[in-house]
Amino acid sequence: MTKRFGDVLVIDSLDLEIERGAFYALLGPSGCGKTTTLRMIGGFELPTEGRVLLAGEDVTNNPPHKRDVNTVFQSYALFPHLSIEKNVAFGLERKGVSKSETKTRVAEALETVQLPHLAKRKPGQLSGGQQQRVALARALVNRPRALLLDEPLGALDLRLRRQLQVELKRIQQEVGITFIHVTHDQEEAMSMADTIAVMNRGQIEQAGSATDLYERPTTAFVAKFLGISNLIDAEVGAGDGTMSKVTTHDGAALHAPANRCAEHAGTPVRIGVRPEKVRLHKAGEATPPGANVLRGRVLLSSFLGVSLQYVIEAAGGEELTVYCQNDDGVAPDAFGAGQEVQLSWDPRHTFVVARGEDGE
In this prediction, residues 280-300 reach a mean pLDDT of 94
Is the pLDDT at 256 greater than 90? The verdict is: yes
In this prediction, residues 206-230 reach a mean pLDDT of 94
Question: Among 153-157, 179-183, 351-355, whose mean pLDDT is lowest?
Answer: 153-157
Q: Burial code of 67-96, b = ≥16 C-beta within 10 A, e = fewer? A: bebbbbbbebebeeeebbbebbbbbbeeee
Q: Which amino acid is located at 337 in the chain?
A: A
| Predicted local distance difference test score (pLDDT) of residue 333 | 58
| Predicted local distance difference test score (pLDDT) of residue 160 | 82
Percentages helix, strand, coil for the chain (3-state, rounded to 5) are 30, 30, 40
The 3-state DSSP class for residue 25 equals strand
Which percentage of the chain shows pLDDT scores above 90?
71
Is the pLDDT at 156 greater than 70? The verdict is: yes
Is the pLDDT at 360 greater than 60? The verdict is: no
pLDDT in tens, 75-87: 778 899 999 999 9
The 3-state DSSP class for residue 299 equals strand
Is the pLDDT at 201 greater than 60? The verdict is: yes
In this prediction, residues 201-213 reach a mean pLDDT of 95
Q: Are strands 340-345 and 279-282 parallel, antiparallel or unpaired?
A: antiparallel
Average pLDDT, the chain: 91
CA dist 353 and 344 (Å) reads 20
| Predicted local distance difference test score (pLDDT) of residue 359 | 41
| Predicted local distance difference test score (pLDDT) of residue 329 | 58
pLDDT in tens, 14-45: 999 999 999 999 999 999 999 999 999 999 99
Q: Are 242 and 348 in contact (CB under 8 A)?
A: no
CA atoms within 13 A of residue 335's CA, in its CB half-sphere: 25
Between residues 332 and 132, the one the model is more confident about? 132
Tell me how far the alpha carbon of residue 103 is from its chain's centroid. 37
Which helix (H) or strand (E) covers residue 171, if one does?
helix 158-175
pLDDT in tens, 240-252: 789 999 999 889 9
Q: Are 258 and 238 in contact (CB under 8 A)?
A: no
Q: Are 76 and 84 in contact (CB under 8 A)?
A: no
CA dist 10 and 16 (Å) reads 15
Angle between helices 99-112 and 158-175 (to 10 degrees): 130
Is the pLDDT at 67 greater than 50? The verdict is: yes
> What string of DSSP letters covers 300-354?
EEEE-SSEEEEEEEETTS-EEEEEEE-SS---TTSS-TT-EEEEEE-GGG-EEEE
pLDDT in tens, 303-312: 888 888 999 9
In this prediction, residues 61-82 reach a mean pLDDT of 88
Q: What is the pTM of this model?
A: 0.88
Give the Å distances, CA to CA, from 345 to 205, 220, 280, 329: 27, 20, 9, 22
pLDDT bucket at 9, cuts 50 / 70 / 90: very high
| Predicted local distance difference test score (pLDDT) of residue 330 | 54
In this prediction, residues 252-279 reach a mean pLDDT of 92
pLDDT in tens, 78-123: 899 999 999 999 988 888 889 999 999 999 999 999 899 999 999 9
Closest CA to 14 of 43, 44, 47: 47
Question: Among 207-211, 278-282, 306-310, whose mean pLDDT is lowest?
Answer: 306-310
Is the pLDDT at 332 greater than 80? The verdict is: no
CA dist 202 and 273 (Å) reads 27
